[in-house]
């Protein structure tokens, strides 16, 4: 894996140079690894869609270092500021109205009149952003509809040497993509994540719900099938079927062959961190199907269940 580079000042500098030349590189964030490109450059954005085989109607998240740089690209309001103060930098993405004179490539936001804005917390991602004169479009570093990567080795598993430069930052801390919240028009969670609608409701002093089924594509990450390891998944199983990999949660399960425990202690954060890694491992071991027990639907469990439903679709 010659294309994996450890996090060092020299390599950060190299990463910076590549991004300036409109090259695409893989970078760690606290949620999942992403494919980063200059958000001002149409060329970079086109390369990202092509690498990911991503439908052009599915817009990308623009990553910033601080709030001042966002003001050039989007309108911000009180609600945004309240959430920003509480949760950013961190695993949350805000949908804001885009400014007409913004330099963000229209391809990056799929010609919508909004942009998705995030301030990553991961040290490597932040250092990179601090040293660039442009924000970065960073979708998850997976082929469209497949599993998101949580380590540099996972990125290699997805793309091999199609990506010339993978910046290593260890295993991601959270393991699931950021919460996406719409702040233009009706406030709604478009994609659940580790920051929950209850936490957000408390800050805004208003009940915020999670978008249910929709026919219109508001957030195409809500496409029904996504996050898929490419083999059938059966949810809410009580026991293991013959030849299936069995994903479990909690201490009552034995460590038998084919059993993969997301958290012996029944800790949902640990389960979130291990979910994609476990699904990828099972796929690579050659299993043909997956059974998974019911995962509690509270806190980050809501996001886990959201991803599992889509992976099973």
Q: Is 229 left (phi over 0), alpha (psi -120 to 50) or beta?
A: alpha
Q: Is 275 in the site for ligand TXA (CB under 6 A)?
A: no
Question: Can you name the residues that pair with 260 across neighbouring β-strands?
Answer: 247
Q: How many residues bind ligand TXA (CB under 6 A)?
A: 30
Measured distance CA(38)–CA(34) in Å, rounded: 13
Q: Does 31 bind ligand TXA (CB under 6 A)?
A: yes
Residue 139 interacting with ligand TXA (CB under 6 A):
yes
- Number of Cβ within 10 Å of residue 130's Cβ equals 9
Task: Check binding of 59 to ligand TXA (CB under 6 A).
Answer: yes
Name residues contacting ligand TXA, limited to 170-209 (CB under 6 A). Answer: 177-178, 180, 190-191
Query: Which residue's beta carbon is nearest to the bound ligand TXA?
Result: 221
Q: Which does 88 bind (CB under 5 to 8 A by kind): ligand TXA, Mg ion, none?
A: none
Q: Is 258 in the site for ligand TXA (CB under 6 A)?
A: no
Taking the C-alpha atoms of residue 119 and residue 189, their distance in angstroms, rounded to an integer, is 17
Q: Is 152 in the site for ligand TXA (CB under 6 A)?
A: no
How far apart, in whole angstroms, are the C-alpha atoms of residue 260 and residue 94? Answer: 34
Q: How far apart are CA 157 and CA 159, in angstroms?
A: 6
Residues 113-142 that bind Mg ion (CB under 5 A): 140
The position carrying tokens 């199983």 is 237
Strand order in the sheet with 179-182: 4-5, 166-167, 25-27, 34-38, 136-137, 61-63, 114-118, 92-97, 179-182, 188-191
Residue 16 CB, nearest distance to ligand TXA (Å)? 18
Site string for ligand TXA, 92-131 (x = CB under 6 A): -x-x-------------x--x-xxx-x-x-----------
Contact 223, 57 (CB under 8 A): no
Beta bridge partners of 93: 118, 180
73-92 footprint of ligand TXA as x/- string (CB under 6 A): ------------------x-
Residue 135 contacts residue 69 (beta carbons within 8 Å): yes
Report the alpha-carbon distance of residue 259 to residue 209 in Å, rounded: 35
- In the complex with ligand TXA, the residue whose CB is nearer, 31 or 261, is 31
Instruction: Name which of 42 and 265 has its Cβ closer to ligand TXA.
Output: 42
Looking at the Cβ atoms of 191 and 273, the one nearer to ligand TXA is 191
Q: Per CB under 5 A, which of residues 36..95 are in contact with Mg ion? A: none
Q: How many residues bind Mg ion (CB under 5 A)?
A: 1
Phi, psi at residue 36, to the nearest 5°? -105, 140
Q: How far is the CB of 236 from ligand TXA (least distance, A)?
A: 25
Which residues form the interface with ligand TXA (CB under 6 A)?
29, 31-32, 34, 58-61, 91, 93, 95, 109, 112, 114-116, 118, 120, 138-140, 177-178, 180, 190-191, 218-221
Which residues form the interface with Mg ion (CB under 5 A)?
140
């Amino acid at each position: 894996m010659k294309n994996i580079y450890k996090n060092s000042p020299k390599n950060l500098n190299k990463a910076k140079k590549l991004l300036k030349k409109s090259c695409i590189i893989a970078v760690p964030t606290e949620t999942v690894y992403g494919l980063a490109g200059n958000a001002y450059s149409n060329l970079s954005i086109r390369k990202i869609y092509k690498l990911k085989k991503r439908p052009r109607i599915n817009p990308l998240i623009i990553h910033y270092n601080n709030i001042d740089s966002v003001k050039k690209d989007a309108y911000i309001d009180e609600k945004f500021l309240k959430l920003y103060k509480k949760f950013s930098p961190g695993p949350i993405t805000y949908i804001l109205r885009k400014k007409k004179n913004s330099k963000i490539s229209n391809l990056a936001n799929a010609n919508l009149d909004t942009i998705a804005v995030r301030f990553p917390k991961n040290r490597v991602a932040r250092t990179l952003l601090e040293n660039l004169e442009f924000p970065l479009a960073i979708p998850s570093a997976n082929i469209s509809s497949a599993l998101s990567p949580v380590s540099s080795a996972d990125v290699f598993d997805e793309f091999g040497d199609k990506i010339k430069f993978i910046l290593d930052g260890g295993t991601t801390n959270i393991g699931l993509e950021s919460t996406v919240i719409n702040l233009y028009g009706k406030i709604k969670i478009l994609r659940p994540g580790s920051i929950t609608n209850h936490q957000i409701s408390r800050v805004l002093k208003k009940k915020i719900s999670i978008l249910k089924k929709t026919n219109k594509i508001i957030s195409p990450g809500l496409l029904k099938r996504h996050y898929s390891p490419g083999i059938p998944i059966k949810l809410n199983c009580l026991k293991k079927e013959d030849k299936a990999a069995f994903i479990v949660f909690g201490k009552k399960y034995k460590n038998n062959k084919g059993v993969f425990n997301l958290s012996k202690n029944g800790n949902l954060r640990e389960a979130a961190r291990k979910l994609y890694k476990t699904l990828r491992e099972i796929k690579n071991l050659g299993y043909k199907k997956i059974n998974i027990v019911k995962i509690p639907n509270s806190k980050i469990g809501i996001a886990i269940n959201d991803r599992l439903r889509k992976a099973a679709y």
